[in-house]
RNA sequence: UCAGAGGGCUGGACGAUCGCGAGUAGCAAUAUUCGAGGAAAGUCCGGGCUCCACAAAGGCAGGAUGCCGGGUAAUUCCCGGCCAGCGCAAGCUGAGGGACAGUGCCACAGAAAGGAAACUACUCGGGUGCGCCCGAGAAAAGCUGAAAGGGUGCGGUAAGAGCGCACCGCCGCGACGGUAACUGAGCGGGCAAGGUAAACCCCAUCCGGAGCAAGACCAAAUAGGGAUAACAUUAUGGCGCGCCAUUGCGUUGUUGUCCGGGUCGGUCGCUAGAGGUGUUUGGUAACAAACACAUUAGAGGAAUGAUCGUCACUUACUUCGGUAAGUACAAAACCCGGCUUAUAGGCCCUCUGACAAA
């Protein structure tokens, strides 16, 4: 298993699909999905950028910025036994890093308390 | 200096903090080294490599290529040349074999779009009711069109016509030169020969298929298969075939061990190369040879990022000290050689024309 600090990584399509069924919070710089996973007791995280936001260079940069923000914040605000998925948006690359951190922090705080998703 | 032609290079630099991938050392903590491009792109060609198929060889079908010579592992690539067209020039552009093997097509316009004949008009003769009609001649005139079956002039004639002649063009043969494409002196022919082969086609040459998700190896659980051992033997049973009955046929439980298969997963393939740089030699050149030197990107939801500082460049503002914003295109995925396309800014070399000066 690769390490991202103390965080685990999601790497299979089925794992991403699992998290998609959970809660989500959208901010202008990032969309975060989260779902408790009873199979383990770590914080695990995955990153996604669709072709909608640009070419390979743009997508890689977006994922790296999200990864950097994630490392600054998730060890403090993430909850054990939870899988997170960070989805890049078209503003992720251009947004100032401070604002990106702010987006991430606020979204994670809203996700702290489990509550039923509106659509489920 | 201005205008232009051809070719090449570069693709921001340095540092700090926190992180990422791989290698090496270490029991470990950790330390240390390396870590995207000229197009990595499009996946359009050519090869290597791997598996499959296949006697050799040839044929059919299909596809590709198409002036000549050279280079190369190979090519549709590259270099040199030829021819045609364009440009004052440097240079640029060209799928550049065959239209006497055959078939087809040539819109619109136009009398006619292809064995040259009909039509209009023309010339001569005859007739006439003066509107024209009949016969003969001829293919020079006919708005067109991308293209109209040689052109111009003179002779000739009833009017005309390569009917004859001169020049130009064309066709055939062809000296000299050149490896060849080609060139084309000279001789002959009155002239019969439209375009289109990125239309079918003909000719010549070449081509087996699939691709690293190729392919090789290790190999869990579950279900199912085979072998074997032990136990069980309920069997006049159960299950299946059959509408049902009788009859008939087939099959059999549990546990252990082994074999085969190869799924999830893992390992390899996986990076030292028809490679790079420099010098010398051969060659007009592409390129080749010799020598020297340096050379670890190898991921697998996929590593280079985030933040800050200094400098460089561009733009805007400016109190001339600075301030603000920006710095292209685009990221390896088995490896090489090409092609094509994208690309901010900057730099260099060679050549041509015009102007000015000497």
Single pTM value for the model = 0.64
* ipTM of the complex in this document: 0.64
- Looking at per-residue confidence, does A114 or A13 come out higher? A13
The verdict on residue A86 lying in a domain is yes
Count: domains in chain A:
1
The verdict on residue A34 lying in a domain is yes
Q: A47 lies in which domain range?
A: 8-111
Tens-place pLDDT, residues A92-120? 777 777 777 777 778 777 776 554 444 43
Q: What is the CATH number of the domain that holds A34?
A: 3.30.230.10
**Rounded distance in angstroms from the CA atom of residue A76 to the C1' atom of nucleotide B313:** 42
The verdict on residue A120 lying in a domain is no
The verdict on residue A118 lying in a domain is no
Residues 51-110 of A with CB under 7 A from strand B: 55-57, 60-61, 63-65, 67-68, 71, 85, 96-97
- Specify whether the backbone of A81 is left (phi greater than 0), alpha (psi in -120 to 50) or beta: left
Sign, Cα dihedral of A89, A92, A98, A104: positive
E strands present in A1-120: 8-9, 23-26, 30-36, 43-48, 82-88
Tens-place pLDDT, residues A31-70? 787 777 766 666 777 777 776 766 777 777 777 777 777 7
The verdict on residue A90 lying in a domain is yes
């Amino acid at each position: 298993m690769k390490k991202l600090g103390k965080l685990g990584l999601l790497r299979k399509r089925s794992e991403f699909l699992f998290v998609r069924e959970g809660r989500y919070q959208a901010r202008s710089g990032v969309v975060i999905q989260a779902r408790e996973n009873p199979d383990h007791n770590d914080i695990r995280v995955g990153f996604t950028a669709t072709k909608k936001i640009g070419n390979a260079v743009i997508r890689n940069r977006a994922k790296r910025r999200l990864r950097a923000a994630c490392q600054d914040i998730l060890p403090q605000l993430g909850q054990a036994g939870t899988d997170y998925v960070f989805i890049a948006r078209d503003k992720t690359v251009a947004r100032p890093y401070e604002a990106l951190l702010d987006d991430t922090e606020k979204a994670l705080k809203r996700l702290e308390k489990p509550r039923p998703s509106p659509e489920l």
